Chain A
């Protein structure tokens, strides 16, 4: 059986994001544990807090894209689910436009920030640029848009079919 093109892209994105999550979550746990060890040994690491906080931000935005792909973000679907079939289609479409529109703005704002951050470096790790750490906002927003559209492409035909059946 052939897998539709969007299905292939979806699986590819899901696997890539899962690998990123494995790396970030493991790194976060290792950094915190190593930080505790060094602090207890009387040699606290100066970069521990800053690096752990940045890993949390990266986990947030890359993980949010994976959650979008799995449609796992917290919402309130009761009203839309109970709406008339035709109205429900419009509401779902409206929801997608708002979600994608918001992240288009975030991606643009994040890009503008990157342009002005040139030449700034982390206080505790001067070899790491702030641009690199903040890149998660425009990249994360772009990934969120792709994830949202791919998962939408999956649910939309089924939703339309169900609506048509209900109207008949």
Chain B
């Protein structure tokens, strides 16, 4: 009965726009008061503190900060110039450039919203000026940005790793092949649309131009190689790699490119801190709810109920896909991971799904959720940059969301796609 009240209360509070972190905390406080009385209340303060002190989560503010610093350092223009030299000669060149630059940027930022805000503000106006319809420009930018959640480093993957107890490094490695497949399929989709609508091409391919733009972007491109290389080879942990990313970002932005000044750095730090606090308050509040649900053995009961229905792992994956796609429509990806992953993990383990494989499934589902209204943080940002109506953009975006869905199906039902590199290097 208390559990039912808890979930109904949570839905009600979220529906009246109480911030999700506070809704989680408030319903748990009421549940604790009903079950254990006021004497148990001080324990809430202790759990809220310890819930925010998980060492592995320190990677989140540091990656956010590194991304914000790089964003303020002229890196976007250099990545776009290099991507343009590489793929701009193809029909619909600017759309190709958008996807390629998003893939490069994803290796630095780890956040799809940062990706779309940074690249979209440059590329969407350019596309519109060259005759691409605004809804198409917003759709290709928005969907390409979602690659940031599967291409390492990825903030949702760090959250998933902590919530599920999986290796963040293995999750990062598992995202490489699906990220590349997603990027290539998106470019293919853009090409087909570009042929149909006769979108323009950019400058002809010139090896000299590729070499020049590569030389200009080499520091930006070397950053992910150094950081991810350090993490993948085990030289540093994900958290330490994030710390090094900050140092490298300040060095490249301030010393090499000389575009980072104190004002921009200050702004980047504050923006990074606020984004971190928003996610971390959710994490801390979920620790409260998680402790209560564990005491009530809810995750185990959910797992048992579903296993009694079916213990076929492909059927369970299908059920979980539907579930995550549905909650992705209404919940921010961080909130969805924090709320749902601890509840479904006993089920995932019970039917023998590899937690790293499942991490990719969850991340992709929630990546699709970033593109599907009503709650679609990345799509909304792209629409706002393009000054385009969200429903018109969604009509075009169906093609790109279908690509993401195809990647999800490949990742779900051919585990070798995400797991082959993990098995090759770590198991």
Contacts and interface: CB of A to CB of B under 8 A. Distances in A.
B15 A76 contact: yes
26 contacts: A21-B270, A25-B61, A25-B65, A25-B273, A29-B62, A29-B247, A53-B55, A53-B58, A54-B53, A56-B61, A57-B53, A57-B284, A60-B52, A64-B277, A76-B14, A76-B20, A78-B374, A79-B15, A79-B16, A99-B22, A105-B44, A106-B44, A112-B41, A137-B45, A137-B48, A137-B49
B16 A95 contact: yes
Interface of B: 13-22, 25-26, 29, 41-46, 48-49, 52-55, 57-58, 61-62, 65, 236, 239-240, 242-244, 246-247, 266, 269-270, 272-274, 276-278, 280-284, 330, 332, 334-335, 374-375
Contacts of A102: 22, 25-26, 29
Contact of A36 (B240, B270, B277): B240
Interface of A: 18, 21-22, 24-26, 28-29, 32-33, 35-36, 49, 52-54, 56-57, 59-64, 66-67, 70, 72-80, 91-92, 94-95, 98-99, 101-103, 105-106, 108-110, 112-113, 116, 134, 136-138
How would you classify the secondary structure of chain A's contact residues: helix, strand, loop or mixed?
A: helix
A52 B246 CA distance: 15
B330 A76 contact: yes
Contact of B55 (A18, A24, A49, A137): A49
B55 A28 contact: no
Given A32-B242, A76-B375, 13 more contacts: A29-B243, A33-B247, A35-B240, A59-B276, A66-B277, A74-B21, A75-B19, A79-B15, A79-B16, A98-B26, A106-B45, A106-B48, A110-B45
A63 to B, nearest CB: 3
Contacts of A21: 269-270, 273-274
B18 A95 contact: yes
B5 to A, nearest CB: 15
A67 B26 CA distance: 18
A101 B209 CA distance: 61
Contacts of A77: 17
B17 A52 contact: no
B79 to A, nearest CB: 24
B46, B58, B240, B280: residue with the most chain A Cβ atoms closer than 10 Å: B58
A109 B17 contact: no
B269 A80 contact: no
A74 B61 contact: no
Contact of A32 (B42, B239, B272): B239
Given A28-B61, A57-B49, A113-B45, A91 B273 contact: no
A72 B239 CA distance: 25
Contacts of A94: 16
Contacts of B243: 29, 32-33, 35-36
Nearest to A98: B18
Contacts of A67: 274, 277-278, 281
